Amino acid sequence: MTHEFRTSAGGRIDRSSPVEFTFDGKSYQGFAGDTLASALLANGVHLVGRSYKYHRPRGIVTAGSEEPNALVGIAREKGQNTPNLRAPQVEIYQGLNAESQNRFPSLSFDIGAVNDLLSPLFVAGFYYKTFMWPRSFWQRVYEPFIRSAAGLGKAPTDPDKDRYANYYAHCDVLVIGSGPAGLAAANAAAQSGARVILCDEQAELGGSLLHDATSMIDGKSAADWASETIKALSENDRVTLLPRTTGFGYYAQNFVALAERVTDHLANPDQSLPRERLWQVRAKEVVIATGAIERPLVFPENDRPGVMMAEAGRIYLNRYGAMAGKRVVIATACDTAYRTAVDLKAAGVDVAVIADLRPEPVGVHVDAARSAGIRVEGACVVTGTKGRLRVKSARLGRIRPDGSVTVMGEEACDSLLMSGGWTPNVSLYSQSRGKVVWDEEAGAYLPGPSVQHERSAGSCHGVYGLHAVLEDGYRAGESAARAVSSAAKRPETPSVSGGEAGAGGTLGALPHDRDPSRVRAFIDFQNDVTAKDVKLAVREGFHSIEHIKRYTTTGMATDQGRLSNMNALSVASKSLEKPIPQVGLTTFRQPYTPVTFGTFATTARGEAFDPVRRTPMHDWAVEKGAEFEDVSLWKRAWYFPRPGESMHEAVARECATVRESVGIFDASTLGKIEVVGPDAAEFLNRVYTNPFLKLGVGRLRYGIMLSEAGFIMDDGVVGRIAEDRFHVTTTTGGAPRVLAHLEDYLQTEWPDLNVWLTSTTEQWAVIAVQGPRARDVIAPLVEGIDLSTESMPHMSVREGRICGVPTRLFRMSFTGEAGYEINVPASRGREVWDAVWKNVEAAGGAPYGTETMHVLRAEKGYIIVGQETDGTVVPNDVGMDWAVGKKKADFIGIRSLTRPDIVAAGRKQLVGVLTKDPKVILEEGAQITAEASPALKTPALGHVTSSYYSSALGRSMALAMIADGRDRIGDTIYVPTAEGVVVVEIVSPVFYDAEGGKLVA
Amino acid sequence: MPEKSVYSANADLAPIIATSRVRVAEAAPLIRFSLRGGEAAASHAGTAVGVSLPLEPLTSIATDKVAAFWLGPDEWNLVIQDDDARAMFERVETALADTPHSLVDVSDRNRALIISGRKAAWLLNSQVFLDFDEASFPVGMVTRTLFGKAEIMLWRQAEDTFVIEAWRSFMPYVIELLQEASRELEAA
Amino acid sequence: MLLISCPYCGVERPEIEFRHAGEAHIARPAEPSKLTDEEWAEYLYMRTNPKGLMAERWRHTHGCGRFFNAIRDTVSDKFVTVYKMGEAKPDLDQLLVEAAQ
């Protein structure tokens, strides 16, 4: 059967390069330049899929991305299947492995086809009507059934191994579509000196010029003229040509997204190439030249394999040398189908008849067919087809003047080519937010006024005929170039012979003489929507086209109804007895055709999804076997297990080491802001609850920052480095938010203050050394600072050197032990860390991670913003009224602290809780109740905010926020859990060294 | 490198990308000061570092020892090749003693990459949405912007040479994505 | 992706360089403690939320870092004008007239 339907010569395929591929496991041969669809047709294969609902056998209908039936899955590797590719867009390569979809067990025998026999049940809205009750059936019966029965194609099962690229591009003029209008527009814009991007979804630029075998442009064949024009464009370095690139999304302000398929057409793609590239284009001007789409005719059994669009038949013939059949019936309401007939006849195909709906077809196209000896029947309609897996004959009828139809007989054929006329492809115009306008004369919706800087050119705005389309393209290219530069020029429109516009066209269901209850005429092939379904929807009260679409699913195919919408609209309009413009048109949305997830994600996946921030000491922690936790974008060392240690054991050991000798901790991720200027102290005094005006140089102060609503938003330690210079620290996760908050007040409320903020988070590496031996450990390394408590007490900062490196040395503690935080320039962090670690190790100390830090601070009752607080907590709630300057007249949030609900009784307050059983560790977030078995819907008293095992206490401990908690200290309360009720006692939140003697030692 | 610049490739490190059409190298360490203040502060600081600070938005002034970048109406990034950061800091502070300002040493906050070659702009456009047409982004232009999800400072030093500065922990992300995008330049 | 003009940089940039910062021209009371609870609640929470032109604060976060004001049409999502912090709010009625022309 090889190439049985191939012409003997011609087309743009390379007959010297045979290509072997498989379809549903069967091997075929095509030629380089074939699409999967053209190669299958050349092998006589029309049956390529089963329909969505009825599992009816379906064949190739179109030669473009609007293809409704020929959807295939392409597998490169196991688990790497790409479903729902449209066969007319799939270029074949050696070894291509394509599978049809939606059939079981095989394409020619599909069990699901039983749905077809049950079709009276599967009417419009079937799913809504059937799967409503009983409610309990949803999860166990209906959903699994629908999931297995519905959907086209199989999703891949493995992570996508391919790579996807992104590219941001800018241009003066973006031209979408490279047919005659697009080429002319790009040409005019390029000759005006504009930066041009020309893209086309097809493998080869040129559009309809590539299959126009008869027209001549400037004395050359259309295809030759196209390649010369393209060559000239490619030599212009201000022009970017993008074949295999779909303009799929038109967004605000001429932001247009293109999907370029880089390697899908290659047998063995170079591994360094991305599979696809997302082009994010910002165009000053856009020319939409996306052409028009031929409409199917809606007649009974119009979905039989072998029934195809007439223009598709011409494309396959002229561009690929593939014949739709050997004996062809052409059904049309439009002149353009006559060109197909003439070309087929010239290629030796038997054209049985042209059945034209129009009573008396006339014109150049009709004359050409007649003079080629083709039989033309006017007032003639196809009323049905026969054949199981491929059309065998067409039933013809005569339309009488009153509109009724009489039988004419049957015409044997192995392909039926149809044309209901042309629908301008207004998808991208519609995406640009333009409102289409009904044109009665054209019988079509055309682009209305431009909302963005765009214009349509050629048949996508209703201009037909090669000469007119070229002229329109030049006009559009010139006007686009003129909008960006005064140098616009318009090339002379070339002389054209042939390519005359064709008249005619029809909309909606065709008349027939069959029993309407027994035949189906399909409108939307992909979703199996018939004319009857649309009429039923109208009868059931769906009068808006948007509702009809959703109820029947018409127009919800991968082409968004470019093929089907106008016929559906016409049927609805007749049923509603309203003219088409009153019925409206559904909105076309992005994406134009399906786009892979990979293309949307581009490089934002895996490790590169977000920046992963690591500290200067990260590698050391990795070498020491640390486990890490994510804190905002940072990786922080969580704990340092020794071989064989569990997390619990490691943390207990680290805690004990800090309490008994010394621990070293990487605090580099803390947010840091340098606040500098003559008004620095005044500014800090306004943004913290604490007083800052009198903080001495060299002193530290813990500060709380509130939102204007009075709630704690961040905390940290502030050091006064000089009169006009402060070193502010924030929480790790809060750093960007705090800086934005401070900039906001500085720039917009207090622009008169002479103070500026500079993030220094990454300027400094911060090494915390905590524990009774902290001073001993760092003392030998420090120069120029007296570390004695008299000279450098708790909460002070000094500048000097450590290991020869300049440092800001903070004496402070978040553990309850005496300790230091050593700030050194980040590039020196690791070397200082190594030196300090050597001493820590020699003193029997250990590194500790964030978990130990959390336990140690919880033992001291220190809060963590975001753990004890949740955006509804004021300082008094967490027992920190002491941090609120009582004499201050103003600070951010001050007024809110006296709001009635803030001073009312019953607010949750920070307390400690101890379980009766010291071994039980409560779950963080657990709810707390006053009774052991509260009645349903009893509000909780509060919740557990932090919970750990404390090695210092030798038992579990927890912090909690409990209503009026401080008054309840000593009370017994309850924590209901899945395992039973835990009995706990409310205690003070400070579990360790309540007097703080250890800090000042 | 087509011209002498305050940024030079760190000779101790292997180039990050080395193809015939684009090269990416990490810059050698530099002194960086963030200067904030009014035009008077800019003027005094300029005298101290030896260039007059740019006052036009998104512009720069550079010699082979100093570059001053306009980052905001009261913000400049001063990049200086000098051995003694402390002395340089004091020198600028002294010049600014009577002028309200903020001078902060951020030498270690940033790392810098030098991207050069015919495909430099192409490579950047894999993650940077700016238009690098000479008319839109002329030589000397500098801006803070985004590289993917990382904030960067971007300077066009010469037609085919750009400098990226980013906070140090974001640099591995920037480098990874530059390398990823450059892979297809190796394709036959 | 919208393009937004920054009045300090003098260029248009994609919106992801910017952050929205709420309604503009709501000054923090000079002495919050003198406000009644109702007045304070009004300042904290009450916003106009108009359909049509609205004065908003935006920040060129990933650019010059400046806060500025913008008049945006909440129906069409178009930025009508931008102006620097501290500059007077334009006459919205006048802007509407100009936009209609």
**Domain ranges, ordered by start, for chain C:** 3-100
**How many beta-carbon pairs below 8 A join chains B and C?**
36
| Stretches in chain C below the pLDDT threshold 50 | none
Level-2 CATH architecture, domain C3-100? 2-Layer Sandwich (3.30)
pLDDT in tens, A944-964: 999 999 999 999 999 999 999
Do B181 and B118 fall into the same domain?
yes
Query: A105: helix, coil or strand?
Result: strand
- ∠ CA A653-A656-A662, nearest 5°, is 105
Listed by number, the residues of chain A in 929-958 with a beta carbon closer than 8 Å to a beta carbon of chain C are none
Q: Are A361 and A377 in contact (CB under 8 A)?
A: no
Looking at chain C, which residue has its C-alpha nearest residue A757?
Answer: C65
Q: Are A432 and A263 in contact (CB under 8 A)?
A: no
* B167 reaches A (C-beta below 8 A): yes
Q: What pLDDT shows up at residue A78?
A: 79
Q: Is the pLDDT of residue A1 over 50?
A: no
pLDDT of A150 reads 55
Query: What type of residue is A786?
Result: D
Q: Do B72 and C62 make contact, defined as CB atoms within 8 angstroms?
A: no
Residue finishing a domain among B79, B105, B131? B105
pLDDT at B145 over 50: yes
Q: How do residues B75-129 score in pLDDT, each as one tens digit? A: 999 999 999 999 999 999 999 999 999 999 999 999 999 999 999 999 999 999 9
Task: Give the whole-angstrom CA distance, residue A453 versus residue A145.
Answer: 48
Q: Any idea what the Cα angle at residue A509 is, between residues A503 and A510, rounded to 5°?
A: 65
Place of tokens 């007045």: C39
**Residue range B39-77, pLDDT digits in tens:** 999 999 999 999 999 999 999 999 999 999 999 999 999
Say yes or no: A133 contacts chain B, CB-CB below 8 A: no
Residue A155: pLDDT band with limits 50, 70, 90:
confident
Smallest CA–CA distance, residue B40 to chain A, in Å, is 13
- C66 lies within 8 A of chain B by CB: yes
Q: Is C32 on the interface with A (CB under 8 A)?
A: yes
Residues A549, A692, single domain; the answer is: no
| Contact yes or no for A480/A465 (Cβ under 8 A) | no
Smallest Cα distance from A252 to chain C, Å: 6
pLDDT of A557:
81
A246 and A185 in a common domain: yes
Q: Does C38 touch chain A (CB under 8 A)?
A: no
pLDDT the model gives residue A500:
93
Mean of per-residue pLDDT scores for chain A: 94
What is the rounded distance in angstroms from the CA atom of residue A422 to the CA atom of residue A150? 31
In a domain, residue B5? The reply is: no
Q: Is A904 on the interface with C (CB under 8 A)?
A: no
Verify whether the Cβ–Cβ distance A896 to C44 is below 8 Å: yes
Same domain, yes or no, for B96 and B153?
no
Q: Is pLDDT above 60 for A151?
A: no
Contacts of A134 (CB under 8 A, 6+ apart): none
pLDDT at A137: 65
List the single residue in A255, A740, A890 with the smallest CB-CB distance to C32. A890
- The predicted-structure confidence for A777-789, as pLDDT tens digits, reads as follows 999 999 999 999 9
Residue C15, amino acid: E
Name the packing angle between helices B85-95 and B39-49 (round to 10°): 140
C-beta of residue C89 within 8 angstroms of C-beta of residue C25? yes
Beta bridge mates, A82: A74
User: Structural domain tally of chain B?
Assistant: 2
Q: Residue B73 and residue C63: Cβ atoms within 8 Å?
A: no
Q: Which of C44, C67, C85 sits opposite A708 (nearest CB)?
A: C44
pLDDT score, position A556: 83
Q: Which CATH number goes with the domain that contains A237? A: 3.50.50.60
Band of residue A558 on the pLDDT scale cut at 50, 70, 90: confident
**CB distance from B57 to chain A under 8 Å?**
no
Asked if pLDDT for residue A882 goes beyond 80, the answer is yes
Q: Classify the C-alpha dihedral A851-A853-A857-A862 as positive or negative.
A: negative
- Same-domain check for residues B114 and B22: yes
What pLDDT, on the 0 to 100 scale, is given for residue A149? 56
CB A819 within 8 A of CB A771: yes
* Domain match, A941 and A999 both: yes
Residue B55 lies in a domain: yes
Strands A14-23 and A96-100: parallel
Q: Any residues with CB less than 8 A from the CB of A986 and at least 6 apart, and which?
A: A911, A912, A913, A960, A962, A965, A968, A969, A970, A971, A972, A973
> Of the given ranges (A79-83, A135-139, A392-396, A783-787), which has the lowest mean pLDDT?
A135-139
Residues B24 and B37 in one domain: no
Residue A868 included in any domain? no
Query: Which residues on adjacent β-strands are paired with residue C73?
Result: C53
Q: What is the per-residue pLDDT for A586?
A: 82
Question: Which chain C residues touch A251 with a CB distance below 8 Å?
Answer: 1
Whether the pLDDT of residue A198 is over 60: the answer is yes
Higher pLDDT, A158 or A233: A233
- Please tell me if residue A609 touches chain C, with a CB cutoff of 8 Å: no
According to the model, what pLDDT value does residue A794 have?
Answer: 96
C-alpha to C-alpha distance for A921 and A648, rounded to whole angstroms? 12
Each residue's pLDDT tens digit, A33-64: 999 999 999 999 999 988 877 888 999 999 99
Q: Are residues A21 and A122 in the same domain?
A: yes
Res. A416: pLDDT tops 50: yes
Q: At CA A159, angle to CA A156 and CA A164, rounded to 5?
A: 100
Domain end: B53, B88, B105, which one?
Answer: B105
The amino acid present at A384, given as its one-letter code, is: G
Q: Which residues of B touch A759 (CB under 8 A)?
A: 109
pLDDT for A148 equals 57
Domain contains B149? yes
CA atoms of A211 and A476, how far apart (whole Å): 24
In a domain, B42, yes or no: yes
pLDDT at position A114 is 66
d(CA A566, CA A426): 12
Tell me if chain A has a CB within 8 Å of the CB of B135: no
The reply to whether A713 and A732 lie within a common domain is yes
Query: What is the extent of the structural domain holding A633?
Result: 618-661
Q: Are residues A307 and A252 in the same domain?
A: no
pLDDT of residue C98: 84
pLDDT tens string A266-285? 999 999 999 999 999 999 99
Query: Has residue B174 been placed in a domain?
Result: yes
Give chain A's domain count: 7
Residue with tokens 């002149």: A335
Nearest residue on chain C to B56, alpha-carbon basis: C9
Q: What burial letters (b/e) apply to A1-37, b meaning 16+ CB within 10 Å?
A: eebebbbeebbbbeeeeebebebbeeebbbbebbbbb
**Closest chain B residue to C12, measured at CA:** B130
Q: Are A890 and A692 in contact (CB under 8 A)?
A: no
Cα–Cα–Cα angle for A404, A406, A408, rounded to 5 degrees: 145
Tell which A residues from 735 to 754 touch B, by Cβ distance under 8 Å: 754
End-to-end CA distance of chain C: 26
Torsion of CA A41, A42, A44, A48, to 10 degrees: -30
Of A78, A381, A12, A371, nearest to A211 by C-alpha is A12
* Residue-number span of the structural domain to which B79 is assigned: 31-105
Distance CA(A927)–CA(A292), nearest Å, equals 64
What is d(CA B134, CA B132) in angstroms, rounded to the nearest whole number? 6
Note whether residue A773 is domain-resident.
no
Quickly list H helices, A460-586.
466-484, 531-539, 545-552, 565-576, 580-583
pLDDT over 70, % of chain A: 95
Could you tell me the CATH number of the domain that includes residue B80?
3.30.70.1520
Q: Which residues of chain A have a CB within 8 Å of the CB of B97?
A: none
pLDDT at A751 over 80: yes
Domain boundary among B59, B86, B105: B105
Contact C10/B at CB under 8 A: yes
| Any domain includes B10 | no
Residues A431, A563: one domain? no
Gap from A898 CA to chain C (nearest CA, Å): 9
Examine the predicted complex and report whether its ipTM is higher than 0.90: yes
Which residue in the set A634, A755, A826 is minimally distant from B168, CB to CB?
A826
A320 with A42: CB under 8 angstroms?
yes
Q: Cβ contacts of residue A182 below 8 Å, gap of 6+?
A: A175, A176, A198, A200, A207, A287, A289, A457, A458, A473
pLDDT value at residue A117: 66
**Which CATH number covers residue A527?**
1.10.10.1100
Share of chain B above pLDDT 90, in %: 96
Chain C hits for B153, Cβ within 8 Å: none
Say if A878 falls within a structural domain.
yes
Higher pLDDT, A555 or A38: A38
Mean pLDDT of the A987-991 span? 97
**Which positions in chain C touch A708 (Cβ < 8 Å)?**
28, 44
Q: Which residue of C has its CA nearest to A747?
A: C67
Task: Identify the weakest region by mean pLDDT among A154-163, A382-391, A913-922.
Answer: A154-163
Q: Please report the pLDDT score of residue A656 as a whole number.
A: 97
A968 in the same domain as A919:
yes
Asked if residue A227 and residue A99 are part of one domain, the reply reads no
**Do residues A953 and A859 lie in contact, with contact meaning Cβ atoms separated by under 8 Å?**
yes
Q: Could you tell me if B22 and B117 are in contact, meaning their C-beta atoms sit under 8 angstroms apart?
A: yes
pLDDT tier for residue B1 given thresholds of 50, 70 and 90: very low
For position A50, what pLDDT does the model report? 83
Pair (A197, A265) in one structural domain: yes
Q: Which residues of B touch A607 (CB under 8 A)?
A: 176
Shortest Cα–Cα distance, B106 to chain C (Å): 17
Domain match, B91 and B180 both: no
**Per-residue model confidence (pLDDT) at position B2:** 42
B134 and B91 share a domain? no
- DSSP secondary structure, A338-359, as one string: HHHHHHHHHTT-EEEEEEESSS
Chain C positions in Cβ-Cβ contact with residue B75 (cut-off 8 Å): 64-65
Per residue in A78-132, pLDDT (tens digit) is 778 898 899 999 999 999 999 988 666 677 766 666 667 666 666 666 666 665 5
CA–CA gap between residue A680 and residue A727 (Å, rounded): 11
Residue A320 lies in a domain: yes
Q: Is residue B8 part of a domain?
A: no
pLDDT band at A134 (very low <50, low <70, confident <90, very high): low
Residues A314 and A368 in one domain: yes
Range 245-284 of A in CB contact (< 8 A) with B = 270, 272-274, 280, 282
CB-based contacts of A849, cutoff 8 Å, min separation 6 = A621, A626, A627, A636, A637, A638, A639, A640, A651, A654, A665
Look at residue A656 and tell me if it is in a domain.
Answer: yes
| Residue A705 included in any domain | yes
Q: Which two tokens stand for residue B78?
A: 């001063």
A218 touches C at CB < 8 Å: no
A76 and A45, same structural domain? yes
